[in-house]
Amino acid sequence: MENIKPLKADLEKYVDFDRATTAPKFFQAFSGGYGEGDQFLGVSVPDQRKVAKRFYKQVSKKEMATLLNDPIHEVRHTAIFMLVLRFQKSKEPKNWVDLYLKNLNRIDNWDLVDSSAYQILGEWLVDKPRDVLYQLAKEESIWKKRIAMVATMQFIRNDDYKDTFKLAEILLQHPHDLIQKAVGWMLKEIGKRNQEAEEVFLKKHYKKMPRTMLRYAIEKFPEDKRKAYLNGEI
């Protein structure tokens, strides 16, 4: 574990105490919040990325797993950035996908999900069966559901929308706003590439969608069309 102590010491050089004070509220780490119990140093994402780039080549898989399970949020996030880099540059990327999947329980806030789901899992599944996403979508954890949904960003970038739509149907009426936002976000991403495809889905489902999901999905539409959807006039 020779790299863990120096990595943490490097992160501590960037501590911002004001950020450490506000982060628990931003990530709902208070009692009853979705990030309850999480701890924060107060290190910005750009600074986490700097540390990740300095350490990712030498960090072992065992060290990576330890860092992914650290109680400090920014340590876990830095580990995510390193894991993405190792996955992208590895001749055996499956090893890093497996490590990611084994540690999903600690990919436990929206920023950790959004920095890894499509960059690792989505990219890996572009040309493979995607059963794992449907398994994750049925898990109780909102983070695993969000991973399933956000992973499809990589498919969308390849103009492959079928799994996004199928998962959106599964999660269509989920009560948590972080799932509603994730579904709406992915539908919006489809619409940015193919608005007709998105609208085929919306016309079938939009009246049943939670308002948050719908607002995210139609965010890039012209004002008159947004109003029509919001007023149920499509």
- Residue-wise pLDDT for 36-47, tens only, equals 999 999 999 999
Mean pLDDT of 101-120: 97
- Is residue 16 classed exposed, middle or buried when 0-12, 13-18 and 19+ CB atoms within 10 A define those classes? middle
Q: Percent of the chain scored above 70 by pLDDT?
A: 100
Token pair for 219: 């965010």
Q: In the beta sheet, which residues pair with residue 133?
A: none
At 133-179, the pLDDT tens digits run: 999 999 999 999 999 999 999 999 999 999 999 999 999 999 999 99
Summarize the confidence of residues 179-185 as an average pLDDT: 98
Give the per-residue pLDDT at 21: 95
The pLDDT value recorded for residue 1 is: 79
Closest CA to 67 of 58, 56, 78: 78
Cα gap 84→146, rounded to integer Å: 18
The CA-based diameter of the chain, rounded to the nearest angstrom, is: 62
Q: pTM of the prediction? A: 0.96
pLDDT at 72: 97
Mean per-residue pLDDT of the chain: 97
b/e map 90-108, b = 16+ CB within 10 Å? eeeeeebbebbeebbebbb
Give the pLDDT band (50/70/90) at residue 217: very high
Using 50, 70 and 90 to split pLDDT, how confident is the model at 8? very high
**Measured between alpha carbons, how far is 217 from 183 in angstroms, rounded to an integer?**
8
Q: Which two tokens stand for residue 57?
A: 């080549």
pLDDT of 225:
96
